[in-house]
Amino acid sequence: MASARLATPLTPGLTLANPILSASGTFGAGLEGSRFSDVSKLGALVTKTVTPRPRAGNPPPRIVETPCGMLNSIGLENPGVEAFLRDSLPLALELGPPIILNIGGESFDEFVAITERVQGCGAAALEVNLSCPNVQGGALPFSTDAQACHDVVSAIAVRSDLPVFVKLSPNVTRIEDIAVAAEAAGADGLTLINTLLGMTVDWRRRRPHLGMGAGGLSGPAIRPVALYMVHRVATRVSIPILGVGGIATADDVCQFLVAGARAVQIGTTNFVDPTAITRMVDEIDELLASEGVDVADVWNTLERPDTA
């Protein structure tokens, strides 16, 4: 039974038992993780990105380890929305925690279509993955151009009866500008951050290790960047932020909460230890109890440096 001190209201009508969530793409729909630990303890399960049509993903190799993290180039492999709603979501809903359905698309029209398709599916909220390229002529992804972000989020928000969380890319000059655009368009919350672009190479073979050359860097190596961006955005928006990026311990969780996140998502840590995410629920409860505070007492309480 979750401690009352961990109760985490996200949006009107959606309060989580605790602030520990899985990160999209690292925990499936929770079904595999349930073989290792009691996933019913989690605040919510965030699914792998689901797209309108099935995607085979990128050519292998798709994952390579790096110091303090890993690079991945999965390519949003998934069975498509129809198969997911039929085969996976009903089982995921039986696990207990609210399901946040991560959706993706390659165009404005695809984002609109999948939003309309998943209404009433049983999920508690949507997480919109804006990291896919806009293949209808735009050179920039929705997540790197404020106007493009505003346009697609506005179209999604007006069509969704579910709360809409927008997942943003760190591969921009000023992430807060994109975040402000998403909020103005009607987003109910934000997820920060997605992976940082990077690569490694086999210099003897003169080839990159990943089949696509570059990939997304995740893990503890990016935690300071994620923490910084969460704090920057928290000073500019009023909607809740889900912090993600290299979180591996209860102390990491508290850093994100203090910096401005309402809750956090655990990703790469699941590859190291698939039981860590559920243990973290107890660890954060014990850590806050030792300080005599509730989770709400630490949200967005970071003192700004005195620069006078």
Among 68, 121, 132, 254, the active-site one is 132
Query: What is the structure's pLDDT at 141?
Result: 74
Q: Which residue range is the domain that position 63 belongs to?
A: 4-297
Query: What is the structure's pLDDT at 308?
Result: 43
Query: What is the structure's pLDDT at 138?
Result: 41
CB atoms within 10 A of CB 140: 13
Residue 134 lies in a domain: yes
Query: What is the structure's pLDDT at 64?
Result: 97
Residue 285's CATH number: 3.20.20.70
Query: What is the structure's pLDDT at 307?
Result: 47
Residue 176 lies in a domain: yes
How many domains does the chain fold into? 1
Residue 54 lies in a domain: yes
Residue 305 lies in a domain: no
Residue 304 lies in a domain: no
Residue 308 lies in a domain: no
254 is catalytic: no
Taking the C-alpha atoms of residue 20 and residue 278, their distance in angstroms, rounded to an integer, is 8
Residue 202 lies in a domain: yes
Tell whether pTM > 0.85: yes
Nearest of 7, 1, 3 to residue 295 by alpha carbon: 7
Residue 216 lies in a domain: yes
Within the chain, strands assigned E span 8-11, 14-16, 20-22, 45-46, 63-66, 69-72, 99-103, 125-129, 164-167, 189-192, 196-198, 201-202, 207-208, 215-218, 241-244, 263-266
- Ranges of residues in the chain with a pLDDT under 50 are 134-139, 307-308
Burial class (CB in 10 A: 0-12, 13-18, 19+), 206: exposed
Query: What is the structure's pLDDT at 135?
Result: 39
pLDDT, tens digit (0-9, with 9 covering 90-100), for 46-93: 999 999 999 999 999 999 999 999 999 999 999 999 999 999 999 999
